[in-house]
Amino acid sequence: MTHEPVPVTRTVDFGTAKLLPDIDRPRAWLLTVDGAPQSYVDLDDPEYLEFEYAQRIAHVLESVLPGGDVPSDEPADSGATVRPGGLDVVHLGGGAMALPRRLDRTRPGIRQQVVEADRALAALVAEHLPPAGEAVTVHTRDAREWLAAAPDGSADAVVVDVFGGSRVPAHLTSVEFAAGIRRVLRPGGLYTANIADAAPFSFLGGQLATVHEAFGSAADLCLIAEPGVLRGRRFGNAVLAARLGRPLPLDAIARLCAGDAFPARVVAGESLAALTGEPVYDDAALPSPEPPDGAFTVG
């Protein structure tokens, strides 16, 4: 006898978490914390990403990272990050691990480290959902503390998607934090982050400047967001990407983002400079802005 999936509610370290089954997809789940969507996974189709920003991060990762074991004779001008013996991706922020599940399918062989500060949330996900893959290791620790202990040059990509409810914590918004990411990235390494803001983009502009300050002039940066967000019509997500010492494959990323159900624009060069504000350091760091009522909440 087949039982219908039922919602799960649990008090976790940073709020009240819910795992909600999707009635349209038999083995798909939405994870929320205090009503704010945190993650969505389809266990039958891990490559499916419900959240548009997650799809854009995946486009960036998959445009830069080849499959797990990469031949050492990869052409030097191919634009791909090359590391014989496999690649390493770090996810700061775990949720239900939608992106690690996707990469485990699309880039098999890549080693993935997932860092989730909420121990009770990680336990809830582990109890009710299967592991994200054999090459995925989960660490229950604050993202910045874990980063400080990580070896230099130990990652080919770092993904930052950390929200305390619906806001990025202040200690993950500073030059000092971004410098820690730069330290653990290998040459050609990729950094990408989920940022939420609205016009006049004070927080977003500060984050662009913060990453530029921490990464230096050798980094190539871009921003990806829906036109309505970029034009200041509404609050929404933007994906920031930076690459050390090599250009981002902007044309490939733009093609993928333009083909999504909700197309997004890639902003770079002078247009990106016009959005850039002033870098933010630890002593003045603030969390990301509070979303307007109803922006991201689920009942």
> 18, 95 in Cβ contact below 8 A?
no
Amino acid in position 129: L
List phi, psi (to 5°) of 158.
-125, 125
Local structure of 177: helix, strand or coil: helix
Structure confidence at residue 72 (pLDDT): 32
Structure confidence at residue 86 (pLDDT): 82
Count Cβ neighbours within 10 Å for each residue of 23-45 and write b for 16 or more, e otherwise. Answer: eebeebbbbbbeebbbbbbbeee
Structure confidence at residue 199 (pLDDT): 93
Amino acid in position 195: I
Each residue's pLDDT tens digit in the chain (299 positions)? 556 789 999 999 999 999 999 999 999 999 999 998 999 999 999 999 999 999 999 999 999 998 644 333 334 344 445 454 589 999 999 999 999 999 999 999 999 999 999 999 999 999 999 999 999 999 999 999 999 999 999 999 999 999 887 899 999 999 999 999 999 999 999 999 999 999 999 999 999 999 999 999 889 999 999 999 999 999 999 999 999 999 999 999 999 999 999 999 999 999 999 999 999 999 999 999 998 876 665 54
Q: Which of 270, 267, 271, 257 is nearest to 63 (CA)?
A: 257
Q: 50-70+81-284 belongs to which CATH class? A: alpha beta
Task: Write down the pTM of the prediction.
Answer: 0.92
> 188, 244 in Cβ contact below 8 A?
yes
> 65, 83 in Cβ contact below 8 A?
no
